[in-house]
A and B are shown apart, each in its own frame.
Chain A
Amino acid sequence: MMQLRINGKDTELAAATVAELLAEQGIDPGARFLAVAINGSVVRRAEWQTAPLAAGDSVEIVRPFQGG
């Protein structure tokens, strides 16, 4: 278990990679139109299985939404 900041919220969870984090959050890693950044850098989909998470990391998980 480690402390992570997910979408602005501090949480404690067990996830070593982006793929594990998405699964832990109930998000289908195959879903289209998703993007992830760790500490201000985009992590490409191809790297989700391998990109490691460290304690204290700040993660953004985003999708397109209505907008003008």
Chain B
Amino acid sequence: MADPLVIAGTTFSSRLIAGTARFPNQQVMLDALEASGAELVTASIRRISLEGYSGSLIDLLGDKYRILPNTAGCVTARDAILTAELAREALNTNWVKLELIGDRELLYPDVEQLVHAADELVRKGFIVMPYCNEDPVSCQKLADVGCAAVMPLGSLIGSGMGIANPAAIELICSRSPVPVVLDAGIGTASDAAQAMELGCDAVMIDTAIAKSLDPVRMAAGMRAAVVGGRLARLAGRIPKQRFAEPSSPQLGLVGS
């Protein structure tokens, strides 16, 4: 039953995009990414340490995974655009996960700057996947300027609070002309499954895997949850109803 994820004309068999941050060590990161089945993994773009440049972690990942650079930490469109351009040069990819933060404590996106930066990056030939708020209007604006996907947050980055506004995510999924990737706030497997059941095309997970007690096992759990949630979505669930409906037949009861 082939059910590939397609973003910007590129096909993926995994619907789990994984982050590379916050793992206890490199080996755990590599093992967890393997267990997750992710094909697309994110990376940040940072200044090299001038006290001795050494080979980076990305040297380990570069050939096995498709790297999606992010503009994490950027608070202005100008910085995000420059970061994206540096990422394109460093990684030889025109894909970018666009993050433009409007509040350093909440890490909520600055939607106004985000749409402007996305528009400019699309014009410069980038495949833009913006981290955005869970607002159908923002998501539509981002799709309208040419983003290849939208990545609404489930809850605050790194919070593990799950999907705070499932109704909004469901609305976004039902209306979006581009793939929807739930990004931020997933805490455990059921959150990932819920995202898929709400109609998301994929999920992005970092902290929930990296900071769990057993990242490799959690990565495997997340992989299964994403598959399970997607199957349930495609299968068409039963509606919720307020009354009971017996499943065993009512006729031929002993003693009747």
Contact = CB atoms under 8 A, between A and B. Distances in A.
Contact of B43 (A37, A44, A67): A67
A32 B46 CA distance: 15
Contact of B21 (A33, A34, A62, A66): A66
Nearest to A22: B53
Contacts, number: 112
B58 A42 contact: no
B123 interface: no
A64 B47 contact: no
A23 B195 CA distance: 48
A63 B48 contact: yes
A68 B67 contact: no
A63 B42 contact: no
Contacts of B201: none
B157 interface: yes
Interface residues of B, number: 40
A62 B50 CA distance: 10
B89 A35 contact: yes
Interface in A32-63: 32-37, 40, 42, 44-45, 60-63
Given A33-B90, A68-B207, A62 B56 contact: no
Given A65-B43, A66-B21, A67-B44, A26 B86 contact: no
A16 interface: no
A33 B50 contact: no
Contact of B157 (A6, A45, A68): A68
A25 B50 contact: yes
B86 A67 contact: no
Interface band, chain A:
20 to 34
Contacts of A66: 19-23, 29, 43-44, 57
B5 interface: no
B52 A64 contact: no
B89 A27 contact: no
Contacts of A45: 89
Contacts of B86: 35-37, 42, 60, 62
Contact of A61 (B21, B48, B88): B48
Contact of A35 (B29, B50, B90): B90
A7 interface: yes
B43 A9 contact: no
Given A25-B50, A27-B48, A37-B82, A65 B90 contact: no
A30 interface: no
B61 to A, nearest CB: 9
B133 interface: no
Interface of A: 6-9, 25-27, 31-37, 40, 42, 44-45, 60-68
Closest 9 CB pairs of A and B: A67-B44, A68-B19, A68-B206, A35-B90, A35-B89, A64-B58, A7-B47, A35-B86, A64-B43
